[in-house]
Amino acid sequence: MDVVASTVRSSLPAPCFDHGGSSRTLDEVNGAEAGHTRQVISREPQQRVAHASANITFMLAVPIRHDTFPSGVSTDSASASLITSLSRSGSRSSWARRRASVALSEAGAPQTTTRVAGVLMECLCVRCIDRGMQKGHVVEHSTPNAYSDTWFDLFLADQDADQTAREIAFLTTILPSRVGARVLDVCCGYGRHAMPLAGKGYTVLGIDRHPEVIRRAQRRCDLPNATFTAHDMTRLDELPEDFDAVICMWQSFGYFDASTNRRVLASMANRLRSGGRLVLDIYNRDFFVDRQEVRTTTIHDTKVTTRQRLDGGRLIVELDYQGRSERDVFDWQVFTVDAMRELAGHVELILRVACSGFDASVAASDGTPRMQLAFAKR
């Protein structure tokens, strides 16, 4: 998984400040309730951040230094100032605090103005949600792939040890067998795969976009050959080393638009040494063609209603949690085996295994939701 996560900033809609069905200026909506206001950022580069600043100031009612925006001052430093204010604003949503923390950790790296504005808008929207919650409204994460605290509580708190053991056994049949082989675990979460692999002699680097998730993985791990760092999967080319293998497990590939997903796959291939292995554990698009449904299950005494549908080449999954004030929406590009084989071929990857159930002898099919694909680099 990847948090953050993980919307495409370049797809932000055209600018307006919409309230009650009509476009208005900020001054015209100064009396509007925050929970009913939707903000989209202005078109001009300098105005994007300036307008986001004004709107965040209005919604958060916290002091933000507008003198960080004169010409010649980078939008990175401006965004850091704004997001710092958000992170100290007492937001009820720990997701907002987590998102602000991620943005702050990235503030030193070059960012496009669109990306900066996108981060600010996400934080603004969550603050609007917080204020709505104070009025007794249901809280929603409208940003796809945001990963609520409830999701972390239900799906990551406890993992089936037997299932993890099966997955590790499968991986060790695919990954290079030499002692000390370097493995990159993309979207590592709490280190469910990284730590057992390190225990078998691999040298593992686990990356995840969520700093809090990485901190928890670091606290859990006492192995010197497993390390964890907060890093965005769209920036793998910035890593200082190459690897003998890259793994990306539990449907953590496909969050972005098609071109960005291709770029992420290419960067995974670029991080591999010649003959290296890439393992993807992803959804099989064929499974969902006839399974667009609504179902309710119970996880840790919480009823979870799942709505899933295919929209073109994307799988949309909505999760509602009974008795909880949060919900999650996930949006992935999903693939068939043949589509992934073709896509991988463009980045010098050869498909070696396409299976399901973490068993190389069981072919991937439309009868199982997930498939495991193993590639070798030419």
Mean pLDDT of the chain: 75
Q: What's the pLDDT score for residue 83?
A: 54
Q: Which residue has the higher pLDDT, 128 or 203?
A: 203
Residue 266 to residue 14: CA distance in whole angstroms: 30
Give the pLDDT score at 84. 52
| 102-120 per-position pLDDT tens digit | 554 544 444 444 444 454 5
Say how far apart CA 47 and CA 248 lie, in whole Å: 38
Rounded to whole angstroms, how far apart are CA atoms 75 and 302?
Answer: 43
Q: What is the 3-state secondary structure (H, E, C) of the chain?
A: CCCCCCCCHHHCCCCCEEECCEECCCHHHCCCCHHHCEECCCCCHHHHHHHHHHHHHHHHCCCCCHHHCCCCCCHHHHHHHHHHHHHCCCCCCHHHHHHHHHHHHHCCCCCCHHHHHHHHHHHHHHHHHHHHHHCCCCCCCCCCCCCCHHHHHHHHCCCCHHHHHHHHHHHHHHCCCCCCCEEEEECCCCCCCHHHHHHCCCEEEEEECCHHHHHHHHHHCCCCCEEEEECCHHHHHHCCCCEEEEEECCCCCCCCCHHHHHHHHHHHHHCEEEEEEEEEEEEEHHHHCCCCCEEEEEECCEEEEEEEEEECCEEEEEEEECCCCCEEEEEEECECHHHHHHHHHCCCEEEEEEEECCEEEEECCCCCCEEEEEEEEC
pLDDT single digits (tens) 37-78: 333 333 344 444 444 444 444 434 333 333 433 344 444 555
Given a cut of 60, whether residue 20 has pLDDT beyond it is: no
